[in-house]
Amino acid sequence: MLHFLGQMYGPFFDLHNWETVITSGNDWLIIFSLVMIECLLSVDNAVVLAAQTQSLPTQKQREESLFYGIWGAYIFRFIIIGLGTYLIHFWEIKVVGALYLAYLVLQFFTRTRVKHTRKLVSDKKHRLLPLFWSVVLQIEMMDIIFSVDSVLASLAISSNPVIVLIGGLIGILAMRGVAEVIMKLMQRIPELEPMAYILIGLIAVKLFISIPAIDIEIPAALFGVVVVGAIVITLIIHVIRKRRRTRAKQDEPSKSTES
């Protein structure tokens, strides 16, 4: 049992591993890509979490519920990354993970994507816990549901649990802190959301082709460059589309005047 736990969580306590990651520019590029994917895919989830706290009567309780929730999210993220790091070495898990990520992409682009949302139970008669702890518990459950997708995608990009942990922790903090900013950004630049799911599709392919039968490994640093490149291309596409719409609006009055 101790050997099994050592395999899963030993890398987290390897100081040399942490030193290597922190001092490596390539690793920070990977971490940046993980944070971006976490934020882009989880912004709607962050809004749901924030909405859950609105049932609490005071601002202090709302802030405290999110405080307890974020620490619970950190602890669970540590647990699931360790477990995932062990399981991801089994090719069957890679196949299942790749199919699941592909399913998420299919759901999104066929407009039937299932959103991980849960309604807050407001019936006081059936509440087993006080309202505050009921909200905290629901926040924790939502974090567990949300983290499965992002951890699976992150482990497909990098097998180093320290990189995945740093990316996940920063991503959670960013998701909580700038959820509204990211949501407004995605409303202004709607191309960002489909771009994120295209990246998830690429991650599914990357995970699938790494199974022993195919045995093609795409370097994590290279995928980090792909993520940055995809964001730049998306912004360029948005600017081009915006200019076209502006020109089209400017041409409409002139056409109506000529007629």
Question: Cα separation of 219 and 227, whole Å?
Answer: 13
More confident site: 190 or 9: 190
Residue 152 has pLDDT above 80, yes or no: no
Q: State what percent of residues in the chain have pLDDT above 70.
A: 71
Q: What is the mean pLDDT of residues 51-58?
A: 70
Question: Cα separation of 40 and 55, whole Å?
Answer: 26
Residue 122 has pLDDT above 50, yes or no: no
Q: According to the model, what pLDDT value does residue 240 have?
A: 93
Question: Cα separation of 7 and 85, whole Å?
Answer: 9
Average pLDDT over the chain reads 75
pLDDT digits (tens, 9 = 90+) for 183-198: 567 778 888 878 878 8
Q: Of 51-60, 151-160, 228-237, which one has max mean pLDDT?
A: 228-237
Question: Cα separation of 148 and 152, whole Å?
Answer: 6
Residue 246 has pLDDT above 80, yes or no: yes
Q: Looking at this protein, which amino acid is placed at residue 165?
A: L
Q: According to the model, what pLDDT value does residue 170 have?
A: 81
In angstroms, how far is the first alpha carbon of the chain from the final one? Answer: 82
Of 146, 148, 153, nearest to 102 (Cα)?
A: 153
User: What is the band of 236 on the pLDDT scale with cuts at 50, 70, 90?
Assistant: very high
Q: According to the model, what pLDDT value does residue 113 have?
A: 45
Of 214, 77, 96, nearest to 156 (Cα)?
A: 96
Whether 43 and 186 have beta carbons less than 8 Å apart is answered as yes
Q: According to the model, what pLDDT value does residue 119 have?
A: 43
Question: Cα separation of 73 and 170, whole Å?
Answer: 12
Report pTM: 0.61
Alpha-helical segments (H) within the chain: 2-9, 15-22, 25-52, 59-87, 91-109, 131-157, 161-177, 179-188, 192-208, 220-258
* Surface-to-core class of residue 77, CB atoms within 10 Å of its CB (0-12 exposed, 13-18 middle, 19+ buried): buried
DSSP 53: G
Question: Cα separation of 97 and 151, whole Å?
Answer: 11
Residue 213 has pLDDT above 70, yes or no: yes
Residue 245 has pLDDT above 60, yes or no: yes
Number of residues that make up the chain = 259
